[in-house]
Amino acid sequence: MASRRAQGAGTNTMAAKRIRKEITDLARENLGDIKLTPNESNIFQWRAVLPGPIGSPYEGGVFEVDVRVPDDYPFSPPQLQFLTKVYHCNIASTGVICLDLLKTAWSPALSLYKVVLSLSSLLTDPNPGDPLVPAIAQEYKRNRKKHDETAREWVKLYALPKSSVAPEPVPQPTRPAVSRGPRGTVSRAGTSSRSATPPRTVTGVRRRDVSGGSGLNNAIDLLSDDDDDVEVLGESSTNGNVAEQPQRRSKRARVASDSAGEAGGSGEVIVVDD
């Protein structure tokens, strides 16, 4: 019993030494898009990621493979199993692989890297003569077109990389269209148009200019500094008297009188009050 334990411990140590050597060699290999990495906490467990070979029905897919290294490695082959579903005559629905390299053709001179390369070649060239799924092998030989269509459909269903899957569109709330009409008017679809506040109306008193100057102008005292429209209401008193007015602001605008050109005409001054 003690002898067997010592032998098992020695074999495990030999396997660990071989695995560490392969890790060092793997760093110098050009894997391309293939990924082969050991578990950080257990070098006897690995994970391989195989891209679907270009030109094969599996192109565009990404296939994950679980790799388990036995304690007596490299005298025994590693155990590989597909984690991604694949429509293949040499790969069962459970992920079990039928590959002679993992059985009778195994040699201690082989490595995990070479096994993974052989697995990638199996996707390109299936072996219907030694199938694990006879129905798929028969379809591969008799109706290759249908076989390839089904394999591509499985790639879309199970093997597309996550970044290639389009996210569900998020519905956006719709906003009513806004149309702008004349100044101060805004209309929205489905709602009645709203008008801006009507212009402010101010009243004033018209009085006759008693300055007697030759240039007869009409003067308008504005009580508002804004540019809103101003409507002048009321008439000047008939007797020429000027009504009492509140204190006005300093802004003043003068408008030329239509009668400025008439000789001896009397000008008018319009004072605008709030």
- What string of H, E and C letters represents the secondary structure of 189-230? CCCCCECCCCCCCCEEEEEECCCCCCCCEEEEECCCCCCCCC
- Give residue 158's pLDDT: 97
Q: How far apart are CA 210 and CA 229, in angstroms?
A: 28
Phi-psi region of 95 (alpha: psi -120 to 50; beta: other; left: phi over 0): left
Q: Count CA atoms closer than 13 A to 215's CA, side-chain side.
A: 5
- Give residue 29's pLDDT: 87
Which one, of 18, 3, 49, lies nearest residue 161 by Cα? 49
**Domain 2-163, CATH homologous superfamily name and number:** Ubiquitin Conjugating Enzyme (3.10.110.10)
* Active-site residue flag, 89: no
Residue for token digits 């694990």? 132
pLDDT in tens, the chain (274 residues): 434 434 445 568 899 999 999 999 999 988 889 999 999 999 999 999 999 999 999 999 999 999 999 999 999 999 999 999 999 999 999 999 999 999 999 999 999 999 999 999 999 999 999 999 999 999 999 999 999 999 999 999 999 987 755 555 666 666 655 555 555 555 555 554 455 565 555 555 455 555 554 444 444 444 444 554 444 444 444 444 444 444 444 444 444 444 444 444 444 545 555 4
| Active-site position among 16, 98, 223, 270 | 98
**DSSP type of residue 163:** G
Kindly state the tokens that stand for 172.
């956006």
- Give residue 208's pLDDT: 52
Kindly state the tokens that stand for 238.
């008939």
Q: What residue segments make up the domains of the chain, in order of their start?
A: 2-163, 199-274
Q: Where are the beta strands (DSSP E) in the chain?
A: 35-38, 45-51, 62-68, 79-82, 178-180, 186-188, 203-208, 217-221, 252-256, 268-273
> Helix 144-154 crosses helix 134-142 at what angle (to 10 degrees)?
130
Helix (H), strand (E) at residue 15: helix 2-26
What lies within 8 Å, CB to CB, of 119 at 6+ separation is: 48, 50, 65, 80, 97, 99
- Give residue 162's pLDDT: 79
Q: How far apart are CA 57 and CA 124, in angstroms?
A: 8
The amino acid at residue 188 is R
Please answer whether residues 204 and 234 qualify as being in contact, where contact means their C-beta atoms are separated by less than 8 angstroms: yes
Task: Name the pTM for this structure.
Answer: 0.58
- Give residue 196's pLDDT: 53
**DSSP type of residue 84:** S
Which one, of 33, 48, 44, 38, lies nearest residue 72 by Cα? 44
